[in-house]
Amino acid sequence: MEKLLEVKNLCVNFNTYGGEVQAVRGVTFDLHKGETLAIVGESGSGKSVACKTIMRILSANGYIKDGEILFDGKDLTKLSESEMEKLRGKDIAMIFQDPMTSLNPTMTIGKQIMEGIVKHQGLGKDEAKTKAIELIDLVGISEPEKRFKQYPHQFSGGMRQRIVIAISLACNPKVLIADEPTTALDVTIQAQILELMKDLQEKTEAALIFITHDLGVVANMADRVAVMYAGKIVEYGTSSDIFYNPQHPYTWGLLGSMPTLDIGDNDLYNIPGTPPDLMHPPKGDAFSLRSDFALKIDGLAEPPMFKVSDTHYAATWLLHPLAKKTEKPINVSRKKVSIDE
Ligand SMILES: Nc1ncnc2c1ncn2[C@@H]1O[C@H](COP(=O)(O)OP(=O)(O)OP(=O)(O)O)[C@@H](O)[C@H]1O
Ligand SMILES: [Mg+2]
């Protein structure tokens, strides 16, 4: 399949009073045309920073220390701000968690959708208006002409996120990055928005990078999954590789803490311990400090990416031919947990 985006050995640091935070530590992945790649991992694992770096919207204290981001024959890490400006929204668009912060409360939503269309597609006002109304309709909002003239506060949270999606799709981006687009919404609305995104993606053939800490969301959405921990990708593969044949103890932990339908929250099991301090990342396997499956070598050297299959890779010493074979914990196999367990 054709590669649309290639991220190679991306390293991103932040300067802070306390020292340098190594938020992204050598991330490599690619994105094919039209596919959905999910990036999953606990809070602080570097998911948002990695994707904001692709958009080059890091906060002022952040910088790209190393690596390449290849898109359409260009290395995005080397583009000037004005070159990036042309690309942002048009070729690569991003949707954030909280739709309210992405919308301007003082402007009608019609105008906000039209802005990008006028800027990037050079359409006249009337054409842009027609397209904006079409988009409002496309994201499943009724009475689009009436809605066109309204302000964000006249929309519910789920509707606002639909509008944000409409804005992001206005210029037919090749890559859409959705950073936890549904976490601020209630569960039923979440499901509707996910369905909408999936549907629109099929129609527009945009490639989607979907960021979430909830593996449950990923199962029905993603073609491939990249699992991030402490600024690194520790395992990646197709959805079925990750769900049915996970190899990294961290992925086991994430699968074990997945909420089940009959309970609806994830308080039952959380991975014990906390992620490491990224100002002083540990030597060796960063997850081993929290893992029941740690080997002696984990504290000494960082595991390379071991190949599990042509589609599946994981960075854990457990995959070394000399490592003792480990039984995966049973809660990995997505067993149903009953309330009184
Ligand atoms: N502006 C900043 N200055 C210093 N450190 C930062 C800054 N932004 C992010 N970080 C650090 O970078 C690391 C990765 O953060 P990031 O926001 O990418 O995590 P995440 O995986 O998106 O988490 P979440 O699920 O909570 O959104 C964290 O340790 C965070 O504290
Ligand atoms: Mg984030």
> What is the tens place of the pLDDT at every residue in 192-241?
888 888 888 888 889 999 999 888 888 888 999 999 999 999 999 999 99
| Residue 59: DSSP 8-state | -
Measured CA to CA, the distance from residue 53 to residue 50 in angstroms comes to 5
Instruction: Give whole-number Cα distances, 332 to 57, 240, 326, in Å.
Output: 36, 13, 13
Measured CA to CA, the distance from residue 116 to residue 110 in angstroms comes to 11
Instruction: Give whole-number Cα distances, 328 to 250, 270, 272, in Å.
Output: 11, 17, 17
Measured CA to CA, the distance from residue 296 to residue 335 in angstroms comes to 31
Return the residue whose CA atom lies nearest to atom 19 of ligand 1.
Answer: 44
Cβ–Cβ < 8 Å for 180, 97: yes
Ligand 1, atom nearest to 59 Cα: 1
Edge-to-edge order in the sheet of strand 92-95: 92-95, 175-179, 207-212, 36-40, 224-229, 232-238, 312-314, 306-309
Mean pLDDT of 73-93: 94
Cβ–Cβ < 8 Å for 217, 182: yes
Task: Report CA(341)–ligand 2 centroid distance (Å).
Answer: 31
Q: Of the candidates 334, 339, 327, which has an alpha carbon nearest to the alpha carbon of residue 256?
A: 334
Task: Report CA(137)–ligand 2 centroid distance (Å).
Answer: 29
Ligand positioned closest to the Cα atom of 46: 1
Tokens of 24: 């992204």
Chain segment 137-191, per-residue pLDDT in tens = 989 899 999 999 999 999 998 899 899 999 988 888 999 999 998 887 887 888 8
Pocket test for ligand 1, best of 13, 25, 45, 61 (most atoms within 8 A of CB): 45
Pocket of ligand 1 (CB under 6 A): 14, 16, 21, 23, 41, 43-49, 59, 61-62, 213, 278
Rg (CA), the chain: 21
Ligand 1, atom nearest to 21 Cα: 5
Element (H, E) at 232: strand 232-238
- Residue 323 scores a pLDDT above 90: no
Instruction: Give whole-number Cα distances, 34 to 173, 236, 312, 319, 331, in Å.
Output: 11, 18, 20, 31, 33
Pocket test for ligand 1, best of 48, 211, 233 (most atoms within 8 A of CB): 48
Task: Report CA(332)–ligand 1 centroid distance (Å).
Answer: 27
Task: Report CA(97)–ligand 2 centroid distance (Å).
Answer: 8
Chain segment 232-290, per-residue pLDDT in tens = 999 999 999 999 999 999 999 998 866 554 444 544 457 888 999 999 998 899 999 89
Task: Report CA(53)–ligand 1 centroid distance (Å).
Answer: 12
**Site of tokens 């984990």:** 298
Element (H, E) at 218: helix 215-218
Report pTM.
0.90
